[in-house]
Amino acid sequence: MQLSVKGKQIDVGDALRQHVEAQLKDITGKYFNNTLDAQVTFSREAHMFRADIAVHAGRGILLQANAAASEPYPAFDLAAARIASRLRRYKKKIIDLHHESHKHAEAVIANSFVLNSEEHEEEANDNPVVVAEMTTPIEMLTVSEAVMRLDLGDLPALMFRNKGHGGLNMIYRRPDGHIGWVDPVETASLAAKAKA
């Protein structure tokens, strides 16, 4: 596993790096043979330390969590515990997904943009400034697999191709904590016509 431990406005020492590496190997080693890479970033927010963890555990499996505490070690431990809890919750699905990962259909690649949300810049120019441009895979998943990836990645939303009918779907985390699902009507009717 390639591990990157960085600090923003904080010095990350060898002892903290070793603690991070040992914990992440222990957590991910239970479910994944060869974790690809992990990034851990420590930062300071007022009097609190924040730990952000992102682990690419396999094809299309991204685990993310963050936590804040008065010291860096407890902040990391809280974030790592959140990842471990999500992995335990989805243990059976993750094992099935890991065994069937080579059977998945090729993902569709889509362009993804990050726009500058500064209001004063938008007023000066009707076109928002593109901060980042990248490609993002839109994978073929069941709704439950998509919900699992949304939860594991701690994502606000996820677009996917529905295995049931091949059309585009979107799931998102609602303000009340529940998960919403967008399944366009045209997609369902096109799939029904294709089967007929």
The average pLDDT across 83-109 equals 68
The average pLDDT across 159-188 equals 87
26's tokens? 């222990």
Question: What's the confidence (pLDDT) of residue 169?
Answer: 93
- State the amino acid at position 170 in one-letter form: M
Q: What are phi and psi of 91, to 5 degrees?
A: -50, -50
Can you tell me the distance from the alpha carbon of 103 to that of 190, in angstroms, rounded to the nearest whole number?
25
Model confidence at 8, in pLDDT bands (50, 70, 90)?
very high
Whole-number Cα distances in Å, 157 to 25, 146, 179:
28, 10, 9
- Gyration radius of the chain's alpha carbons: 19
Question: What's the confidence (pLDDT) of residue 117?
Answer: 63
The average pLDDT across 107-117 equals 64
Tens of pLDDT, residue by residue over 69-95, are 999 999 999 999 999 998 888 877 776
CATH topology of domain 105-195: SHC Adaptor Protein (3.30.505)
Tens of pLDDT, residue by residue over 50-76, are 999 999 887 678 889 999 999 999 999
Whole-number Cα distances in Å, 161 to 30, 154, 158:
29, 19, 10
Model confidence at 103, in pLDDT bands (50, 70, 90)?
very low
Whether 53 and 76 have beta carbons less than 8 Å apart is answered as yes
Question: What's the confidence (pLDDT) of residue 92?
Answer: 75
Closest CA to 143 of 119, 179, 112: 179
Which helix (H) or strand (E) element contains residue 158? strand 157-162
Instruction: Return the number of other C-beta atoms located less than 10 Å from residue 163's C-beta.
Output: 16
Which helix (H) or strand (E) element contains residue 88? helix 72-89
14 compared with 95, residue with greater pLDDT: 14
pTM as predicted? 0.67
Q: What are phi and psi of 89, to 5 degrees?
A: -65, -40
Annotated domain spans of the chain: 2-99, 105-195
Q: Check whether 187 has a pLDDT greater than 80.
A: no
Tens of pLDDT, residue by residue over 124-142, are 556 667 666 777 788 899 9
Q: Return the residue matching tokens 């094992």.
A: 95
- Give the percent of the chain with pLDDT over 90: 40
* CATH, range 2-99: 3.30.160.100
Cα torsion angle, 191, 168, 185, 149, sign: positive
Q: Check whether 146 has a pLDDT greater than 80.
A: yes
Question: What's the confidence (pLDDT) of residue 66?
Answer: 95
Q: Check whether 153 has a pLDDT greater than 50.
A: yes
